[in-house]
Homo-oligomer: A and B are copies of this chain.
């Protein structure tokens, strides 16, 4: 294995500090660097202010082996990346003929007049490797200064990505000598909390250094990120597979997918495989569940549709929940959920029906407290499942949790 190189990314641009755009450049660059086995230890964003940019550069220089700068290479007065690095390094700036020609050609082609500040984009550091920008004006630069590799990239994502793919990655691989591969997979779980999952895996997580194991709580559930480093992709894959097997031997029954797979996607997949069709009956969720299912491309082959029965009248007259159930048990009841699931499956002639009824709040209903939710699943053999839940949070988190729980239950019954 080659020595670990410490890299960091510095983004220059006041628009980032004003929140006008998100720093997606840092995310994308970090993915590229991870794939090359380069560890990124920090992201920094500073505004278009000479002193603050210079300070950020100075700190990065002291910390890291590789500093990648995005932005501040444009033609305007507040593009200060060149000036700031020059103050730090005292390396002179010279005109890059090919870039200058490119800029002139552009203005001729556009029959536009070049403003005095345009040539600024063709200024590069003496001795730097210059990367001509295939989709824009400002070239990229790579240079070594005081044992630190500095890479300068334009902030426009399209230009930055083009230069990274064409020049930076090959340059990094050369820098790394023998290229080390990093591969990362994400294991996704449902029906288990972050702390319980981490508790189950505590010893493995501690023993394990390659791949590293990082549990992470996300909106849709818990994920575990495994990151393996090795000389070959094949070895990295083997390391990942071995650890994955260890983890699954403990909590495999909670796992539903990897990487970009979604729970709703898995549910639609299982429904399709098993040639089921689905209909939904929703009260408190107001259509959120069928909406979630229909986000999956290809859902139309399984999702018949649904009935949003927000009022009891719709529950009774459109869905067909017996008046007696509504009167004696109430709309927020096990019995109502069961009827809703069964009736919607019959009405829409689907093989499976799922129903949601409960109290999203803000007020309690039928003397049932806010967060009380019943979910029922009906299949051709009858109501296969009905469960009561008590969810926390405000109106919309209760609704969100209800939808996620519905996906989890449907997934479990299909699996």
Contacts and interface: CB of A to CB of B under 8 A. Distances in A.
Interface of A: 11, 14-24, 26-34, 40-48, 52, 56, 59, 74-78, 106, 109-110, 112-118, 134-136, 156, 158, 162, 184, 186, 193-196, 198-199, 202, 205, 214-219, 225, 227, 280, 282, 285-291, 293-295, 297, 299-300, 303-311, 313-314, 317-318, 347-349, 361-362, 390, 392-397, 399
Contacts of A303: 286, 310-311
B311 A300 contact: yes
B310 A308 contact: no
A263 B86 CA distance: 39
Contacts of A214: 14-15, 48, 78
Contact of A287 (B41, B113, B308, B349): B308
Contacts of A47: 41
Given A20-B186, A20-B225, 10 more contacts: A41-B52, A109-B392, A115-B199, A117-B198, A118-B195, A156-B219, A286-B287, A286-B290, A300-B311, A304-B311
Interface of A is mostly: mixed
Most chain B beta carbons < 10 A, residue from A75, A76, A196: A76
B297 A305 contact: no
A313 B18 CA distance: 51
Given A289-B287, A294-B287, A300-B311, A18 B184 contact: yes
B299 A318 contact: no
A314 B318 contact: no
5 contacts: A20-B184, A20-B186, A75-B195, A307-B307, A308-B308
A343 to B, nearest CB: 11
A408 to B, nearest CB: 13
A297 B395 contact: yes
Contacts of A110: 390
A318 B320 CA distance: 12
A24 B308 CA distance: 33
A289 B78 CA distance: 34
B294 A291 contact: no
Contacts of A304: 310-311, 313-314
